Amino acid sequence: MKEITNKYLIAALLLGLVFHGSAIFFTLESTYDALIHLFFADHYANSWFEPWNYEWYTGFSVMSYPPLVHQSIGILSLIGGLKFGMFAVAIIAILLFITGVYRFALLMTSNKTVAGYAALLAVFSSSFVETLHIFGQLPSIIGISVLMHSLPEIYLWLKTGKLWYLATSLSLIAVTVTSHHVTPIFGMVFFIFPLIGMVIMDVSRDQVSSMKEVTFKVFLNSFLKLFKRIVSFGMLSLVLIIGCILPYWINSKANPITQVPIPHGSRDNFLEILSSGLVFFLIPWGVLLILLPYIFYRYYSKRYLFFGLSITILTVLGTGGTTPIPLKVLGETAFNILTLDRFTLWASIMSLPILGEFAYRFVEGDLKELIQSKFGAIYHRIIGGVLAGLFVFMFIFTMSLGYFRPSQPQKIKMLPIVNFLNQDDHDKWRFLTLGFGDQMAWLSAQTNAMTVDGNYHSARRLPELTTRPIERLENSKFKGVAGIGSLQQFLTTPEKYNLKYIFSNDKFYDPILYFCGWQRLRQLENGIMVWERLNIPPVSSILPKDKIPQWLKLHWGIIPFLTVLIAFILNIQMLLVNALKTRIKALPDFLKYPLPYNKFSSGVLKITHIWSFFLAALVCYGIYLLYLKNDSQRSPENAVISYYDALDFKEFNKAYQLIHPASNLSIAQYMLEVSVTDGLLSSYAKMNAIETEITNYNDSTAFAKVITEWITPLENIEKIDYRKLSRLNGKWYLHPEDLNSDLPPDQLYSDNVTKYYNQGRRRITTEQTHHEDVLKQPVLEVVSAKLVKYDGHYAIIGHVQNIDNVPADVILKGTLYNDENKELATYNAKYHVKHKLMPKESSSFRINFEGIAWSKTEDSIPDTFNPDEFTPVEFEEQPTKFNLQVAGNVSGSDLYKNMVLSEIQVGTESVSGVIFNSGIQEITIPQLLITYYDKDQNMVWVDHLFVKAGIRQQRKQAFDYKILDGGAVEVINDDMKNIFVNGLPNEAIAKKIVQNRIEDHMKSHLIKVNDPYFGYIKIEMNSYIGSPN
């Protein structure tokens, strides 16, 4: 028999290469995972044998992920750079996948044409497209592809017992193991076990004359006959799974994943969270969903019985939290660690041979004849068109997902950041990125500077990170309270991590940065804002690392590549023979069981029809529901919700469309009105929940009480609006809100301010601290300080003044001790202080002692977001003493002081008033610091209020502050002995500069309140200017 080249396979390979090979250049870099692999590759390219990486998470071991793919990219990067390496490996992955599917399909169906169809369809299968172009899971793809390559070899070993096949199959298993650890473990269960079952079936079939005669007895006999081979293969592959990545297993034992599970969409209930259902169920299955009856019918035939069981389990596990089964099957731990989308991926890949078979039978086989004879040729053509159309649609839809719903922020030019870090020793400190998405990995790959964050959450080490369900600090705004809480901790005590620079690509974080004491340095040319924090020591030049034995390092560096080399040598001969057809080869054993494809079961056809109609109906209903939900003017609720959604996403044109036409508001006027409102709520808030209560509703008018919940970086805001709606021509419209008509007195006015500029280095020199350029630290004085306990938590409160002649950035660090002078807790002042003080300006302060929130896993994490959430440290012993370290540094930024308290009314439970902006900058977020005094005018507590709206120049803004009702404050210690300013004792400073302090001044600020516990309050003002001009 002459060997013929399989045209379909060639076509599949060419198409796959042309299509995916060019598409990856537009998709891969914006996938979730690709850049992480690139970072690891960069590590190997620079230090092949040293597994310790200092750049992320204050150091972690790369032995926490199988190295093959990373090392391959690393090796290739030496030729043409990291990205070249990544794309080259991606192209290899594409080739491996297509050929792998071909070989798997050939093994399953014993028919080269069918296998060719399968390979061709695999190129465009939505699950592959999604895994490659949206998730970017290169190791996973290579793992499953090599596994598919190994399946025929395993079959042949089990069937023939030739040791050669044992060697080839094991060599391929080894490659799978070193490229992805999860694939061979589960692949063993879901692909190899059913394959063993199939081999036994085939052996049994050989002993009897027809498949029907294969009884359990025959099956058992064959099983016993093959037992030795099965066990030997099983044991040897187990040895490989453990041995090839032994350092990985040792590392995971040494650093067990003891972290709070990170929520993953694949564990959601797909019916509740439709987006997860789309991404993790609908897309990977794609057109296969229509063929499910056929797939199950085929896999439950006797020969494939075990594959039937396997695919059933995979399908069910892939449904995530939709059904309770996966949770029960996998158990709590595995369910929360594994991402369940891989099961769906494997199920869809397992279905590919059957899809190929179906296509073959539909296009040129018995199904075509059956349909044509039953329904006519035209029907066959229409159905063919519909199926092909659906297939293409799913493909295009999947490819375009990344375009319409980008999973990553816009591509950021890294060069300016890399240059910044290399400048002036900036890489001597750690940095943090905000709003970079997975591109932070690409930044890390390009610089030697270290970050406290990282992008491989299994390797996190700091308890501040592992105890929270967040992947990265970087995208903490999407992770609710836990995310912002974690971030706040890093921002408040950055000296603990030597964190000095923050690159912010998301304005959302600006207020929290400002109020935690950070200052803007400058905007880089790529639009990234650099924030810095003063008084941070550089990273020490010797950093701790986990000691890893030499042999493990050698193992990790050598074995993975060796497996590829061995697999290549062992399999190249077969490959060449197959590809070049140099000689006629005996038909492999698995080609001896072809199915005749002469009679398609009409029952299956019927069921497939019914199933398809059912699916179609479901889809139509879904679309109808979507229409009802999205028709913005169908009901008052819809109108309100779409209006607030539009405002949330800043789609002002869309919002304007919902404003009642009779209100005679032009779009220009509307935009003007919207654009003049700035502040925490309108510029830094993300709507979290919206609830509407339609209070009065008749045919033409409705009143809605709109309760909106907004997430801001500083706190949670609940807002209640009352909106009037009217119906016009069947559509509901909102009436515009009244505007504040406040008119400032001056058209043009002037203001004189003192501005400061710090030269930094006056001379261009790389000398680290040229001593003439070092400014004196401004002298601060702690006027009063005491340790108090209020409402269950301890705090150090007090009053600090800049008594120098230059503006100061103030950092306060408090430490609590017990009677035995044992240190109990230490923390910095967060936003209960004015971090920037002009000469002689003073500020009240409060230092909270925050613990690591939810550090105990049994503490349930609240679902609702509250960045203001506060977790006090749990003290084992009673704090009785405190130490306060104050550091001043000259700072010339954020010194806007033109906030005026212009009206005040003291009520029974609250204090309300008006703030007036008398300067020439627009105040984005006004903050009030409220200091409480007891009846004897002793300072007892400090609280704050963020005013929700900004204040434009020469305008007023009302506020309303509720007086605290947590009972009396207990003053524990007011001894001011252990207070140090810039390392010097506070007492000496107090004596030297302000010798005769006028104590009465404090009293003249006080406002009397009517409260059982507090006698007076003092209001100080601080402001965040979003865009200084």
Dihedral sign for Cα 847, 853, 858, 864, please: positive
Residues 958-987 within binding reach of another protein (CB under 8 A): 958
Check if the beta carbon of residue 796 is closer than 8 Å to that of residue 785.
Answer: yes
Sole binder of another protein in the list 717, 971, 997, 1011 (CB under 8 A): 997
SS3 942: strand
Residue 328: which region, alpha, beta or left (left: phi > 0; alpha: psi -120 to 50)?
alpha
Shortest distance, position 961 Cβ to another protein, whole Å: 14
Nearest to 809 by CA among 496, 499, 498, 534: 534
Shortest distance, position 629 Cβ to another protein, whole Å: 26
Residues 838-877 within binding reach of another protein (CB under 8 A): 838-842
Q: How many CA atoms lie within 13 A of 959 on its CB side?
A: 28
Shortest distance, position 680 Cβ to another protein, whole Å: 20
Sole binder of another protein in the list 657, 881, 897, 985 (CB under 8 A): 897
Check if the beta carbon of residue 434 is closer than 8 Å to that of residue 506.
Answer: yes
**What residue type is 293 in one-letter code?**
P
DSSP letter at 148? H
Sole binder of another protein in the list 901, 920, 945, 971 (CB under 8 A): 901
Check if the beta carbon of residue 191 is closer than 8 Å to that of residue 310.
Answer: yes
Shortest distance, position 780 Cβ to another protein, whole Å: 13
Does residue number 1005 form part of the binding site for another protein (CB under 8 A)? yes
Q: Which stretch binds another protein (CB under 8 A): 360-368, 660-668, 878-886, 892-900?
A: 892-900
Q: Which stretch binds another protein (CB under 8 A): 66-74, 597-605, 760-768, 895-903?
A: 895-903
Sole binder of another protein in the list 551, 613, 614, 756 (CB under 8 A): 756
User: 């506060």: which residue's tokens?
Assistant: 870
Shortest distance, position 840 Cβ to another protein, whole Å: 5
Number of residues that bind another protein (CB under 8 A): 65
Nearer to another protein by Cβ, of 740 and 855: the residue is: 740
Question: What whole-number distance in Å separates Cα of residue 1 and Cα of residue 398?
Answer: 42
Nearer to another protein by Cβ, of 754 and 860: the residue is: 754
Strand partners, 811: 887
Number of residues in the chain: 1029
Residues 776-835 within binding reach of another protein (CB under 8 A): 776, 783, 801, 803, 805-807
Q: How many CB atoms lie within 10 A of CB 548?
A: 18
Sole binder of another protein in the list 446, 818, 954, 978 (CB under 8 A): 954
Does residue number 906 form part of the binding site for another protein (CB under 8 A)? yes
Within its chain, how far is the Cα of 1008 from the centroid? 49
Strand partners, 914: 903, 958
- DSSP letter string, 375-439: H-HHHHHHHHHHHHHHHHHHHHHHHHHHHHS-SSPSPPP-HHHHHHHHGGGGGGSEEEEES-TTH
Sole binder of another protein in the list 4, 730, 738, 760 (CB under 8 A): 738
Nearest to 787 by CA among 841, 849, 852: 849
Does residue number 904 form part of the binding site for another protein (CB under 8 A)? yes
Structure tokens at 547: 């000691």
Shortest distance, position 834 Cβ to another protein, whole Å: 11
Question: What whole-number distance in Å separates Cα of residue 44 and Cα of residue 64?
Answer: 13
Sole binder of another protein in the list 207, 373, 419, 902 (CB under 8 A): 902
For residues 714 to 733, the per-residue mask of contacts with another protein, x marking binding by CB under 8 A and - elsewhere, is: ----------x---------
Q: Which stretch binds another protein (CB under 8 A): 43-51, 220-228, 324-332, 993-1001?
A: 993-1001
Nearer to another protein by Cβ, of 585 and 776: the residue is: 776
Percentage helix, strand, coil for the chain under 3-state DSSP, each rounded to 5:
50, 20, 35
Sole binder of another protein in the list 148, 279, 680, 1002 (CB under 8 A): 1002
Does residue number 912 form part of the binding site for another protein (CB under 8 A)? no
Check if the beta carbon of residue 672 is closer than 8 Å to that of residue 691.
Answer: no
Question: What whole-number distance in Å separates Cα of residue 783 and Cα of residue 233?
Answer: 78
Q: Calculate Rg over the CA atoms of the chain.
A: 34
Structure tokens at 570: 């062992």
Sole binder of another protein in the list 699, 767, 772, 936 (CB under 8 A): 772
Sole binder of another protein in the list 411, 413, 650, 1008 (CB under 8 A): 1008
Shortest distance, position 697 Cβ to another protein, whole Å: 8
Nearer to another protein by Cβ, of 205 and 834: the residue is: 834
Sole binder of another protein in the list 336, 665, 1007, 1011 (CB under 8 A): 1007
| Cα diameter, the chain | 112
Question: What whole-number distance in Å separates Cα of residue 237 and Cα of residue 151?
Answer: 13
Q: Which stretch binds another protein (CB under 8 A): 293-301, 322-330, 683-691, 898-906?
A: 898-906
Sole binder of another protein in the list 235, 377, 610, 753 (CB under 8 A): 753
Sole binder of another protein in the list 217, 999, 1012, 1029 (CB under 8 A): 999
- Strands 780-790 and 970-973, by their bridges, are antiparallel
Does residue number 754 form part of the binding site for another protein (CB under 8 A)? yes
Interacting residue ranges for another protein, rule: CB under 8 A:
695-696, 698, 701-703, 724, 738, 740-743, 745-746, 752-754, 756, 771-772, 774-776, 783, 801, 803, 805-807, 837-842, 895, 897-906, 916, 918, 954, 956, 958, 993-994, 997-999, 1001-1002, 1004-1008, 1019, 1021
